[in-house]
Amino acid sequence: QVHLQQSGPGLVKPSQTLSLTCAISGDSISNNLVAWNWIRQSPSRGLEWLGRTYYTSKWNNDYAESFKSRITYNPDTSKNQVSLQLDSVTPEDTAVYYCARQFDSYFGYWGQGTLVTVSS
């Protein structure tokens, strides 16, 4: 059974970097049939896809255009986890952040969600 466990701070100061980790069990992050996505949800923006990372013969990233300048995904095969870094956050980045596994194209497994508040 695939399980995604998220971790990371719930409070980030404006202009700093948001960092979250998604630890995967029951699958390998290097599985070339799978992509690992980050999605966030806020009352003002609804569900918003941030991007994904996936392994073919190398790691590939596919970021939503509006985040490209300040988002980074870091896969860690030794820990079987993927991490999200979002730079220069503002209060508008306050949201619940989810990681999700994409297999056969659809998002079948999700992490439990992490509420991140951007505030000084």
Say which residue the tokens 């994409």 belong to. 102
For other proteins (CB under 8 A), the number of binding residues is 21
* Residue of 49, 59, 72, 74 that binds other proteins (CB under 8 A): 49
**Is residue 43 a contact residue for other proteins (CB under 8 A)?**
no
The piece of 16-24, 26-34, 48-56, 78-86 that touches other proteins (CB under 8 A) is 48-56
Residue 108 binds to other proteins (criterion: CB under 8 A) = yes
Interface with other proteins (CB under 8 A), residue from 1, 10, 44, 46 = 46
Of 21, 84, 26, the residue nearest 52 (C-alpha): 84
> How many helices (H) and strands (E) are present in the chain, helices listed first?
0, 11
Residue selected from 47, 60, 85, 117 as contacting other proteins according to rule CB under 8 A: 47
Cβ atoms of 4 and 24 closer than 8 Å: yes
Q: What is the dihedral sign for C-alpha 28, 59, 110, 23?
A: positive
7 binding other proteins? (CB under 8 A): no
- Do β-strands 11-12 and 114-118 pair in parallel, antiparallel, or remain unpaired? parallel
Contact residues for other proteins, defined by CB under 8 A: 37, 46-49, 52, 62, 64-65, 98, 100, 102, 104-108, 110-113
